[in-house]
Amino acid sequence: MQNLQGKAAFITGGGSGIALGQAKVLAGEAGMKVVIADIRQDHLDAAMGWFAERRLPAHAIRLDITDREAYVRAADEAERVFGPVHLLCNTAGVSQFGPIEKATYDDWDWQLDVNVKGMINGVQTFMPRMIERGAGGHIVNTASMSAFVALPNTAIYCTTKYAVRGLSESLRVELEKHGIGVSILCPGAVNTNIHESVLSRPERYGSTGYYGADPETFKRLKSVIESGIDPLDLGRIVLEAVRRNDFWILPYPEFIPTLEKYNGEVLASLRRYESDPDYLRRKKLGKAMPGAR
């Protein structure tokens, strides 16, 4: 999607953080009309003040992305206000960290519902509309470098982000025939307040084995990410990736050694069985999996 001028974008989590950075860049630098959807009204109000000061086309919708019926209403509203949505940014996400043995079902359900099911809701809401319209489009899914690397105390978050990666790779294969591009953004450290996402955790996920609104914990988590990429700079990276129709958006070369090690281990395990009699049999019969040599 090289021509974004005047087209509409729908951005989840758009009231703050990475998503707000995307919205500011898309509206202010690419000339798009942006719909920012967020569960927190205070974030939406603050964000809309920024757009109003600059007279940029933006519309705010309070949305819990885990609510499928509300998502459909939000999509209908977005189209009434700005017309067909050509760019969907599935950016909303939450995180809460701690030892896996202390996790409750509510801890699992909250992150899975927002990070995975919420993204599925976005795809299932807008993808059919893009296909039916027949004019292409683009979907940007925000995962994390945790879609590649498992670290201590991140089991739930990591599980959700690996799922986002699988969904995104599948969408890339499935949607090309419809002229719909797909990108996956995998941030490392970004200078946001994602560590405070527990403040918007609904009461229905009330049982937790982890931290709540603890200032000291927030301070410690913030110290890890405050030297990261500025959300506006990351938004510009996303914009250029959409224009180029890039799938991978990985602006963190510091992870190269780690991924080389991980990928090397995977390849070494595969090569261990290159002389296995059953593999040789399958290969001779032409029954090895697609992609096998």
Long-range pairs of 252-260 with CB within 8 A, sequence gap ≥ 24: 252/145, 252/186, 252/187, 252/188, 254/188, 255/145, 255/148, 255/149, 255/188, 258/148, 258/149, 259/148, 259/149
Q: Which helix (H) or strand (E) holds 61?
A: strand 58-62
- Adjacency order of strands within the sheet including 137-142: 58-62, 33-38, 8-12, 85-90, 137-142, 180-185, 248-249
Query: How far is the C-alpha of 107 from the C-alpha of 123, rounded, in Å?
Result: 24
Identify the bridge partners of residue 12 per DSSP, sorted by sequence position: 37
Task: Report the catalytic residues.
Answer: 157
Q: Which residues contact 286 (CB under 8 A, 6 or more apart)?
A: none
Query: How far is the C-alpha of 145 from the C-alpha of 148, rounded, in Å?
Result: 6
Picking from 229, 274, 214, 221, the residue whose alpha carbon sits closest to that of residue 18 is: 229
Query: How far is the C-alpha of 19 from the C-alpha of 12, rounded, in Å?
Result: 7
Q: Are 183 and 242 in contact (CB under 8 A)?
A: yes
